[in-house]
């Protein structure tokens, strides 16, 4: 009997070690879920946004106003980068020095355009992926005299996926105006993901700024947006429907309405074959403009791609066969007269998106 016990002992010891390791993994995973649940960003459907700055001008009528919209790729998705979510390999896509270089270039370009309104997407405030650089503060400081608003759409205390993990992410959509922003609000968009995936995904929103119009009781309602990217398509549809309802409501109340940003979709009024998605590459959705009421203007510049694929770095790639997209632009109410729209071809050096510049006049 004693000999049999001795023979079984090595097996029992190995089994015990395995069970302990399994228990540790289970406890760690459970602990991670608890941590993510406790720290999860849970915004209300509507929230007031603090307006920073002292701009006090009203938007004039009959004068040309320029607006720039740009997904700056958290200043870490320059021409050197690919990204694992788009078929690439990188998680950490830029050194701190490269992030600072990209940020400086973004600020320099915007200043050169001399816009009165600025819509930025993927602006980090405290993220490991951009080395905890507060990009929003740097941009705000560069445009002294502008009003500014910021709305989180990605806030995770620790993102464990992939390996190495992305870590802390705090990012959002930022709007700047040389006019007085009378009020601003964050409007939550539908979230297509279920728990627990929803804890680690973006909580996409509309950053709505209400700017008084000179000589009237109307407002320019300026909406900054970044719609769903990595869903099965249903998220884009739900979010676009929510956007449509909001736009039409604001216009019905007599306001001037401009929505700009990264739609992650092409308007059905554009030629989808110009930058058709190659097999195996990420493909944008399509916004059916016929579902909107008559009079709305859907504006994208077909001459220049607004986004490039991140399945590989741009440096050293075959540029003639590279994947580009047309997904950034504006939706504008009919009482706004647009005189010019141009996507500036910056070669995707400092971001995976090109900026879109629009000139308009309020009738």
Average pLDDT over residues 137-150: 98
Order of strands across the sheet that contains 328-332 = 46-48, 183-188, 205-212, 219-226, 256-262, 328-332, 297-299
pLDDT score, position 7: 54
CATH, residue 176? 3.60.10.10
Q: What percent of the chain has pLDDT over 70?
A: 98
* Co-location of 339 and 282 in the same domain: yes
Q: Are residues 185 and 202 in the same domain?
A: yes
Over the stretch 320-332, which tens digit does the pLDDT of each residue have? 999 999 999 999 9
Pair 24, 141 in one domain: no
Could you tell me where the DSSP H helices lie in 76-184? 96-113, 135-142
Mean pLDDT for the chain overall: 95
pLDDT 10s digits, 304-322: 999 999 999 999 999 999 9
At 134 the pLDDT is 98
For residue 1, what pLDDT is reported? 46
Q: In the predicted model, what is the mean pLDDT of residues 189-204?
A: 94
Question: Is pLDDT above 80 for 2?
Answer: no
| pLDDT given for residue 190 in this prediction | 97
Q: How many domains does the chain have?
A: 2
Q: Are residues 140 and 204 in the same domain?
A: yes
Residues 266 and 314 in one domain: yes
pLDDT greater than 90 at residue 220? yes
Residue 9 structural domain: 1-39
* pLDDT at site 16: 86
Identify the pLDDT of residue 20. Answer: 86
Same domain, 12 and 61: no
**What's the length of the chain?**
363
The burial class, CB within 10 Å (0-12 / 13-18 / 19+), for 277 is: middle
């Amino acid at each position: 009997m004693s000999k049999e016990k001795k023979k079984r002992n090595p097996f029992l010891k190995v089994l015990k070690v395995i069970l302990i390791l399994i228990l540790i993994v289970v406890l760690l995973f459970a602990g991670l879920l608890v941590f993510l649940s406790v720290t999860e960003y849970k915004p209300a459907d509507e929230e007031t946004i603090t307006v920073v700055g002292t701009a006090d001008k009203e938007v004039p009528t009959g004068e040309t106003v320029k607006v720039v919209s740009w997904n700056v790729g958290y200043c870490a998705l320059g021409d050197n980068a690919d990204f694992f979510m788009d078929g690439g390999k990188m998680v950490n896509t830029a050194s701190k020095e490269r992030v600072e270089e990209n940020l400086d270039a973004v600020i320099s370009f915007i200043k050169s355009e001399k816009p009165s309104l600025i819509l930025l997407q993927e602006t980090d405030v405290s993220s490991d992926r951009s080395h905890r650089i507060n990009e929003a503060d740097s941009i705000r400081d560069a445009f002294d005299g502008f009003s500014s608003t910021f709305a989180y759409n990605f806030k995770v205390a620790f993102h464990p996926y992939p390996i190495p993990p992305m870590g802390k992410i705090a990012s959002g959509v930022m709007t700047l105006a040389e006019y007085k922003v009378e009020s601003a609000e964050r409007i939550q968009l539908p979230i297509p993901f279920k728990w627990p995936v929803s804890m680690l995904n973006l909580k996409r929103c509309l950053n709505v700024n209400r700017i008084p119009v000179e000589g009237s009781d109307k407002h320019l309602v300026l909406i900054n947006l970044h719609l769903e990217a990595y869903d099965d398509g249903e998220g884009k549809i739900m979010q676009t429907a929510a956007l449509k309802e909001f736009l039409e409501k604001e216009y019905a109340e007599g306001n001037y309405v401009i929505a700009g940003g990264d739609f992650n979709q092409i308007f059905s009024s554009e030629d989808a074959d110009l930058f058709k998605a190659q097999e195996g590459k990420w493909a944008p959705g399509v916004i059916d403009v016929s579902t909107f009421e008559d009079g709305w203007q859907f504006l994208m510049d077909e001459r220049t791609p607004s986004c490039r694929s991140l399945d590989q770095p741009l440096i050293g790639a075959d540029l003639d066969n590279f994947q580009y997209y047309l997904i950034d632009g504006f939706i504008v109410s009919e009482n706004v007269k647009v005189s010019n729209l141009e996507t500036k071809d910056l070669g995707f050096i400092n971001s995976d998106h090109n900026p879109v510049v629009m000139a308009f006049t309020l009738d």
